[in-house]
Amino acid sequence: MKISATDLLKKQHRKVEKTFAALEKSNGEASELLESLSNDLAAHMAIEHDFLYPAAAEVDSDLISEAFEEHAIAEIALKRLLACEPGGEIFHARVVVLKELIKHHVEEEEEELFPKLEKKLGKARLEELGAEMAARFAQLQEMGPMTVVPKTQTKTSADRDRKKFDAML
């Protein structure tokens, strides 16, 4: 079954939203949810960096620049969430902050970027991208996508991938 890049990403967005809802309700038993969230977010951001954003560069470079920055901040927020003990006040605050960052990012993608991409790239190209992105996402899930995330707090994969993106322009 073919899936367009935008439909694939929307499906991933819905899964992450459900994970956030479950995390907010958790009482310290969050290790599986955290692992799922971190793996899904890291793999999702990686496929956007590698496939979607280069394809979208001509569509709206300002939105793409903002998306890279949002990814950088979200990645730092995710690292901070992973560094604290599940269940406490700090944990819940970090869940809420990361959720709000991701919610804003998703809204911009789905309401602004995706309609532009669908209009500009067309169904066939979006399905081609969708196939490439789905394959890479599955590969990252197997390897543990957090392996592609830099370990430091100051450097993020968005910073690294932005350099590759800028070199393409």
Give the Cα separation of 156 and 133 in Å (integer).
Answer: 20
pLDDT tens figures, 16-66: 999 999 988 877 677 888 989 999 999 999 999 999 999 998 898 999 999
**Per-domain residue ranges for the chain?**
5-168
Mean pLDDT of 82-93: 83
Residue among 42, 35, 33 at smallest CA distance from 12: 42
| pLDDT for position 113 | 95
pLDDT tens figures, 93-150: 889 999 999 999 999 999 999 999 999 999 999 999 999 999 999 999 888 767 777 7
Mean pLDDT of 59-88: 89
Token readout for 6 is 């935008």
Give the Cα separation of 166 and 61 in Å (integer).
Answer: 10
Cβ-contact 64, 41 below 8 angstroms:
no
Measured CA distances, 79 to 36, 67, 107, 149, 155 (Å): 14, 18, 22, 10, 11
